[in-house]
Amino acid sequence: MSKKGTNSESEKSITSREADYAQWYQDVIRAADLAENSPVKGCMIIKPNGYAIWENMKEVLDDLIKSTGVRNAYFPLLIPERFLQKEAEHVEGFAPEIAVVTHAGGKKLTEPYVVRPTSETIINDAFSNWIQSHRDLPMLINQWANIVRWEMRPRLFLRNTEFLWQEGHTAHATEKEADERALMMLKMYEDFMREYLAIPVVSGRKTENERFAGAKETYTVEAMMQDGKALQMGTSHNLGQNFAKAFDITFADAKSGQQSFVWQTSWGVSTRMIGGLVMAHSDDTGLVLPPMIAPTQVIIVPVLSGKAATDKAVLAQADTILDELENEVLVRVLVDTSEERVGAKFFKWEKQGIPLRIELGAKDMEAKRAVLVRRDTGEKEEVALTNLGARVADVLGEIQAEMLQRAEKMQKAKTKTADSWDEFVSLLESGHFVLAHWCGDSQVEREIQEKTGATIRCIPFKQKAEKGKCILTGKASGGRVVFAKAY
Amino acid sequence: MSKKGTNSESEKSITSREADYAQWYQDVIRAADLAENSPVKGCMIIKPNGYAIWENMKEVLDDLIKSTGVRNAYFPLLIPERFLQKEAEHVEGFAPEIAVVTHAGGKKLTEPYVVRPTSETIINDAFSNWIQSHRDLPMLINQWANIVRWEMRPRLFLRNTEFLWQEGHTAHATEKEADERALMMLKMYEDFMREYLAIPVVSGRKTENERFAGAKETYTVEAMMQDGKALQMGTSHNLGQNFAKAFDITFADAKSGQQSFVWQTSWGVSTRMIGGLVMAHSDDTGLVLPPMIAPTQVIIVPVLSGKAATDKAVLAQADTILDELENEVLVRVLVDTSEERVGAKFFKWEKQGIPLRIELGAKDMEAKRAVLVRRDTGEKEEVALTNLGARVADVLGEIQAEMLQRAEKMQKAKTKTADSWDEFVSLLESGHFVLAHWCGDSQVEREIQEKTGATIRCIPFKQKAEKGKCILTGKASGGRVVFAKAY
């Protein structure tokens, strides 16, 4: 395999990561035609190329979620304002972000409705009717829905006034069972992100400051973007009995018959993952997608010469390859027979992140071969037509594996320990996950954020017991936590 | 096969169709646990059993839609109020039904947002940016989304303030192509309803009174419920250039380069279809689902005797059957090993409309057979275990075909022609689709509605040319239209 030369055309339209990472991100999304800003402040339009990625994510996650016994349902978009007020921390957390319907059907409403910023309240109101006895538990419900949280500094996929997500809501007879469920779903997210998105994550607990409004414990998976900043890719909450008490969700115990409050969880991932996918893998040429989640995994580009007879044979061979890949190798594949010139085609599909390109021209036909070009590395490889299906399957597997390896390598390289304040600040400034000691005081955490712009992304599950001194106060600490600037 | 006796238990909880059709509908939904009213006025909660039906509908329709070259995307839930006002008929039609967000992020908005009652405006605003040249056409987009239309007289699935649907939106270079697309999608709906829902429909054009607000032509598929009333199951609109002009969507013509307005369509079906499914097939025992759309097609009920050894063998055999049906016959199947008594299990799954029950007890084991019980007819049949998989597949096919036949038979029996006013009124009162002449005057149509409560469901595509006299005015008419009371 030989290294492909840089495509000069791409540099015109996509700002380099080094020059301006934020602009690069916008450029990649535009060049791959994933999404755009809408005339509705903070809301995006998810275009077909972007939505196809979401559909693939949904399909995989939906199966994974259902395989744990959860069933899908659908609850109202609009939530009576008084519901939100039942859980004190919850309303405090969400009040600044809510959109309110005050008029409908031509009249002012006697009670305003909130457009759901999350559905704990409306779902737990239903749970209070649905759950009577221990036989109704565990209650395991998931919803795919749109969510509205008013966003002052919107960024495509990462922060939008409206986004799409799944939100799981469960109720259990015991605290232990609820906590196990919350951790089970976090592990499911972690595995999904590694296996499908080729993104390694750091999983752990959130500090009190960063906890979901109303949760007893928030678990998180944090991914590193190429600039060393963190993106919270998904969260899972142990809600304790907070909502059960607010919404009076009780069940009759199996043995004693006594009424007890249920123990609950909620957990979700959203279209934000698409932003993470873009920032974790893409390059200065455009989008790079891992094969497992790419809507189109292979693009076949016939290279035509203008000679009718040869071109006919090339196109026929392209169709044969399409058929074999689609129906035997079970690959998501397209053939590009448009009238654009070949260079423009290569460039177009590179920008869109198709993992593998197959080039096929007259010379290739003569030599009974095709050329494979990897999007992630640019490597080219000649493959005999007789071996093409098997090789394509292998290369797609190699791309998937190597994309994860590269992301892991970067994560490792940009994760550092710091024991002095100067080192700590310098590592954060240059884009790192910084493992540092913290005394456990929420006020200190806020001070560190004010001074550095970084937050504690999580107290990692894999935290080693290690005596040390808080990076700001010097007070005693029993282990390092993960600090980073975050999206 | 022998006819099953009436289940006396069912009559306790479900009102008969004859006694009170409207109450029966509510009772069937409750007994099958499909949905319930929410604390949000007019909004329903779609429970897991109901949502699973929607998921099956979505999966089939999504494939059908995509197979015609349409791609999914997602547009904002919130629409600037001024967008709605750009198309005069459109805003007039929807103004009474809209919900308005006036406050968000803790502030009063300078411009209010409407919660989408349909997305023509926000999507066509995007199309005006996306479409420049003939090469951008046809533009074929679909969206799966939630919709809010303030509803004064809500009924589960049939009329709700919030419902789920797909809405397709297309733009074309010619009027002919747009009209063909509108008709193609209507035909797709018709085929889906016959093949999957076992519901025959009458397809045709809407009159001006019943047209979608802003459409040039609305095509519809109308299904007959068991009470002889009509349910509009889906519509497809030829929008002409109305929205193109309102949103300035033009393209440069291939030959002349001249700017022309595009020709457009939109088309949709919604969770309303679930209401149609309930009302078309169910009986006084509860829900009856056609196998092609049933989330669970077969329920296996082991009949246990209390003798440990025998019961163990029965349960093992049930598992073997489950495995065979699931993995070889590819049937959606469950086995009920809960602790309820057998009669309660039978009753439960009948109410939920599972098409086929397999009973397996000690005697059956001895005779190396199982008993199949059809939900739709109650017919029982003993089948040798060696032949079970093949027979289950056949019986499911028979149920599907016969459910359609019964629905067609009813549709035929309750579709009558009327040539006198008294006959017309009497047929409408007793629940019929009435084929009658109409002079084509919108005001006359409104008068007929005021006098009878019936509307023109459609001018059927299969309308025979036939000279006659308008049922109200006696004026000349060239063919019969379909009148009916409707949900």
Q: CA A3 → CA A6, A361, A374, A375, B298, distances in Å?
A: 9, 20, 10, 11, 56
Residue A324, number of CB atoms within 10 A of its CB: 16
Q: Which of B187, B168, B199 is nearest to B268 (CA)?
A: B168
Q: CB–CB of A230/A457 below 8 Å? A: yes
Residue in this structure with the two tokens 């940009």, named with its chain if needed:
A414
Residue A212, number of CB atoms within 10 A of its CB: 24
- Core vs surface per residue B9-41: b (16+ CB within 10 A) or e: ebeeebbebeeebeebbbbbbbbbbbbbebebb
The pLDDT of residue A88 is 83
The pLDDT of residue B11 is 43
Chain B residues in contact with A147 by the CB 8 A cut-off are: none
Peptide bond into A291 cis (omega under 30): no
Q: CB–CB of B238/B226 below 8 Å? A: no
Per DSSP, what are the bridge partners of residue B374? B356
Say which residues have a Cβ less than 8 Å from residue A67's Cβ, sequence separation at least 6. Answer: none
| Vertex B299: Cα angle to B294 and B300 (nearest 5) | 160
Say which residues have a Cβ less than 8 Å from residue B464's Cβ, sequence separation at least 6. Answer: B479, B480
Domain B415-484, CATH homologous superfamily name and number: C-terminal domain of ProRS (3.30.110.30)
Q: How far B459 CA lies from chain A's nearest CA (Å)? A: 31
Q: Which CATH class is domain B298-398?
A: alpha beta
Q: What SS3 state is found at B140?
A: strand
Hey, are the CB atoms on A78 and B46 less than 8 Å from each other?
A: no
Hey, are the CB atoms on A45 and B150 less than 8 Å from each other?
A: no
B3 has a pLDDT exceeding 60: no
**How, if at all, do strands A99-104 and A78-80 pair?**
unpaired
Chain A residues in contact with B145 by the CB 8 A cut-off are: 146
Over residues B5-51, the pLDDT tens digits come to: 444 444 458 999 999 999 999 999 999 999 999 999 899 999 999 99
Q: Which of A131, A213, A200 is nearest to A406 (CA)?
A: A200
Nearest CA in chain A to B152: A105
What span, in angstroms and rounded, lies between the C-alpha atoms of B218 and B90?
14
The pLDDT of residue B246 is 95
Residue in this structure with the two tokens 């070889």, named with its chain if needed:
B328
Chain A residues in contact with B122 by the CB 8 A cut-off are: 38-40
Say which residues have a Cβ less than 8 Å from residue B56's Cβ, sequence separation at least 6. Answer: B293, B294, B295
Chain B residues in contact with A295 by the CB 8 A cut-off are: none
Average pLDDT estimate for B136-142: 98
> Taking all residues of chain B, what is their mean pLDDT, rounded to a whole number?
95
Hey, are the CB atoms on B100 and A95 less than 8 Å from each other?
A: no
Residue B382, number of CB atoms within 10 A of its CB: 12
Per DSSP, what are the bridge partners of residue B345? none
B409 has a pLDDT exceeding 80: yes
Average pLDDT estimate for B326-342: 95
**Mutate which of A45, A97, A111 to test chain B, going by most B C-beta atoms within 10 A?**
A45
Q: CA A216 → CA A122, A189, A197, A259, A346, distances in Å?
A: 19, 20, 29, 22, 51
The pLDDT of residue B474 is 97
The pLDDT of residue A12 is 56
Say which residues have a Cβ less than 8 Å from residue B395's Cβ, sequence separation at least 6. Answer: B356, B372, B374, B381
Hey, are the CB atoms on A101 and B95 less than 8 Å from each other?
A: no
Q: Which of A322, A469, A330 is nearest to A396 (CA)?
A: A330
- Counting residues of chain B whose pLDDT is more than 70, the rounded percentage is 98
Q: CB–CB of B156/B26 below 8 Å? A: yes
Per DSSP, what are the bridge partners of residue B167? B143, B268
Hey, are the CB atoms on B122 and A77 less than 8 Å from each other?
A: no
What span, in angstroms and rounded, lies between the C-alpha atoms of B454 and B229?
9
**How, if at all, do strands B298-302 and B333-335 pair?**
parallel
**Mutate which of B55, B61, B78 to test chain A, going by most A C-beta atoms within 10 A?**
B78
What span, in angstroms and rounded, lies between the C-alpha atoms of A296 and A93?
40
Q: CB–CB of B268/B214 below 8 Å? A: no
Q: What is the largest distance, in Å, between two alpha-carbon atoms of chain A?
A: 86
Hey, are the CB atoms on A38 and B76 less than 8 Å from each other?
A: yes
Residue B257, number of CB atoms within 10 A of its CB: 9
Q: How far B94 CA lies from chain A's nearest CA (Å)? A: 10
Peptide bond into B80 cis (omega under 30): no
Chain B residues in contact with A124 by the CB 8 A cut-off are: none
Residues of chain A with pLDDT under 50: 1-11
pTM: 0.95
Tokens for B287?
């829900």
Q: CB–CB of A31/A47 below 8 Å? A: no
Hey, are the CB atoms on A78 and B148 less than 8 Å from each other?
A: yes
Hey, are the CB atoms on A78 and B162 less than 8 Å from each other?
A: yes
**Mutate which of A91, A101, A110 to test chain B, going by most B C-beta atoms within 10 A?**
A101
What span, in angstroms and rounded, lies between the C-alpha atoms of B240 and B25?
38
Q: Which CATH class is domain A298-396?
A: alpha beta
Q: At what angle do helices A48-66 and A175-195 cross, to 10 degrees?
A: 140
Report the run of H or E that residue B59 belongs to, with start and end: helix B48-66
Q: CB–CB of A220/A276 below 8 Å? A: no
Considering the segment(s) A8-281 as one domain, its CATH architecture is 2-Layer Sandwich (3.30)
- Counting residues of chain A whose pLDDT is more than 70, the rounded percentage is 98
Chain B residues in contact with A141 by the CB 8 A cut-off are: 48
Name residue A307's amino acid. Answer: K
What span, in angstroms and rounded, lies between the C-alpha atoms of B111 and B101?
9
What span, in angstroms and rounded, lies between the C-alpha atoms of B49 and B51?
6
What span, in angstroms and rounded, lies between the C-alpha atoms of A117 and A162?
9
Chain B residues in contact with A101 by the CB 8 A cut-off are: 99-102, 115
End-to-end CA, chain A: 37
Nearest CA in chain B to A79: B40
Tokens for A443?
């006020």
Q: How far B445 CA lies from chain A's nearest CA (Å)? A: 26
Q: CB–CB of A299/A287 below 8 Å? A: no
Chain B residues in contact with A146 by the CB 8 A cut-off are: 77, 145-146
Residue B150, number of CB atoms within 10 A of its CB: 23
Per DSSP, what are the bridge partners of residue A381? A372
Q: What is the DSSP string of B322-337?
A: HHHHHHTS---EEE--
Over residues A33-72, the pLDDT tens digits come to: 999 999 998 999 999 999 999 999 999 999 999 999 999 9
Which of B76, B102, B145 is nearest residue A100 as measured by Cβ atoms?
Answer: B102
B4 has a pLDDT exceeding 60: no
Hey, are the CB atoms on A45 and B75 less than 8 Å from each other?
A: yes
Residue in this structure with the two tokens 């994550």, named with its chain if needed:
A201
Report the run of H or E that residue B87 belongs to, with start and end: none
A349-A350-A351-A352 Cα dihedral, nearest 10 degrees: 50
Q: Which of A74, A104, A147, A164 is nearest to B274 (CA)?
A: A74
On the CB side of B338, CA atoms within 13 Å amount to 13
Q: Where are the domains of chain A?
A: 8-281, 298-396, 415-484
Chain A residues in contact with B80 by the CB 8 A cut-off are: 39-40
B104 has a pLDDT exceeding 50: yes
On the CB side of A161, CA atoms within 13 Å amount to 25
Q: CB–CB of B45/A128 below 8 Å? A: no
Hey, are the CB atoms on B39 and A83 less than 8 Å from each other?
A: yes
B333-335 sheet: strands from edge to edge: B333-335, B298-302, B356-360, B369-374, B380-384
B438 has a pLDDT exceeding 90: yes
ipTM computed for the complex:
0.95
Tokens for A91?
């309303």
Q: CB–CB of B289/B297 below 8 Å? A: no
Q: How far A110 CA lies from chain B's nearest CA (Å)? A: 12
Q: CA B194 → CA B188, B277, B354, B392, distances in Å?
A: 10, 11, 19, 22
